[in-house]
Structure 1
């Protein structure tokens, strides 16, 4: 079994989000035909693992075995030192079913204030992680992980990003992800770093 990806080959993006398939195709430089698990009617498995890598592997293997094709899945999130790594793998869940990240950022600000006032936790350190898993129908999986370190900033700044971007300022920069152009952010993002590893290993 070849563990390399062949140009033109069909890949399953283990997601029901069509926009993510477009993003994945761009990250893979348009070399492959990317279709979503949702377009094939495949159910999304519960994310029951305790790590980004575990959840990425779970989703990729589930899609690969269901479709009989190579599948790619990612799991990503924001971890904050003062909150003992939260929201971490629960980053999306903190935003709720309606993806209300404004509310999630309010919760983070409140929790960090409580941690500072009651436990003396003053660290602003945070990091974004992206775990990418590629799985073959035979069960083998390859995993790649990208991480970008930075700090939490309040009040929020910028409106060009999404999710938690307005409160994350990467190390070495004086602007947040949400103040960067998409092109500038993509050059240093955790997702870019993970895809860079994937391309080096499997292209």
Structure 2
């Protein structure tokens, strides 16, 4: 498969923010389809790791459409919270996936753990597993990470998910405050994409 370049690809996500970012990272010659073209619902993500959940999605969407599928599973790990929310990052937003709710939960959990957390550097990272599958066969699965810390309050309206509370290492702005073009050159999805290059 790696010898033959992929010409068309289904991006296996119903998250518009992820779709936008993945689209921007893919080479122009690839014809891109999204799950909304086929009105596909996401499968139950019952894996124990980002990699397992990513593969569940890429295989599921590929089998539904017959197309090669690229899927992402990603989330935020906060060291102070024993690496939670981790693979449950989206679920912390409740049924509607409301990330304002999810961000409040991160702050609530930090408060429970340590009332003084705002005066400390709370280490965290974004993790992204990207997999490519064709029908039931895994072509590849890679992981990218970006280290950083948690902001004391949400800042910035750009990005999506937990971006407003994540400050990458050696930066003073959250992902939510950065222009997408800046964020897309350093985040966890970009790190994972670099490892996928030979397949695309």
Q: Same fold (TM over 0.5)?
A: yes
Of 130, 141, 144, the match for 1:132: 130
Residue 15 of structure 1, CA deviation: 2.4
Aligned residues: 197
> Deviation of residue 116 (structure 1)?
1.4
CA contact (8 A) 2:163 2:175 kept: yes
In the TM superposition, what is the alpha-carbon distance from 1:4 to its structure 2 partner?
4.5
1:48 to 35, 46, 49: 46
> CA distance change for structure 1 residues 23 and 177 in 2, over 3 Å: closer, same or farther?
closer
User: What is the distance in 1 between the residues matched to 2:153 and 2:19?
Assistant: 32
1:77 maps to what in 2?
A: 75
Secondary structure of the 1:157 match is coil
Counterpart Cα distance in 2 of 1:28 and 1:43: 23
Aligned-partner Cα distance in 1 for 2:18–2:162: 17
Query: Do residues 3 (structure 1) and 6 (structure 2) align?
Result: no
* TM-score in terms of structure 1 length: 0.87
Alignment of 1:3-22 (within 5 A): 3-4=2-3, 6=5, 9-17=7-15, 20-22=18-20
- Output the CA distance in 1 between the equivalents of 2:3 and 2:69: 13
Name the residue aligned to 2:199.
202
* Whole-Å separation in 2 of the counterparts to 1:98 and 1:42: 17
Deviation of 1:106 (Å): 1.4
- Out of 157-166 and 17-26, give the one that drifted further: 17-26
Name stretches of at least 5 consecutive residues in structure 2 with no aligned partner. none
Measured in 2, the distance between the counterparts of 1:72 and 1:185 equals 21
Structure 2 contact 151–167 (Cα < 8 Å) conserved: yes
Does the C-alpha gap of structure 1 residues 111 and 140 become closer, same or farther in structure 2, counting only changes over 3 Å?
Answer: closer
State the partner residue of 2:63. 65
CA contact (8 A) 1:21 1:35 kept: no
Query: 1:89 maps to which residue?
Result: 87
Task: For residue 34 of structure 1, report the CA deviation from its aligned partner.
Answer: 1.1
2:92 corresponds to 1:111: no
Shift of 1:5: 5.2
State yes or no: 1:191 paired with 2:189.
yes
CA separation in 2, counterparts of 1:75 and 1:84? 19
Distance 1:123 1:81, change over 3 A: farther
Please, what is the CA RMSD of the aligned residues? 2.1
Q: Secondary structure at the match of 1:177?
A: coil
Contact 2:122–2:150, Cα closer than 8 Å, also in 1: yes
Q: Is the Cα–Cα contact under 8 Å of residues 75 and 126 in structure 2 kept in the other structure?
A: yes
Is the contact between residue 25 and residue 33 of structure 1 (CA under 8 Å) also seen in structure 2? no
2:168 corresponds, among 148, 165, 170, to 170
Deviations 1:25-76 (A, max 9, x none): 3211222111123422444210010111110011111122232221110011
TM-aligned CA distance change 1:102 to 1:53, over 3 Å: same
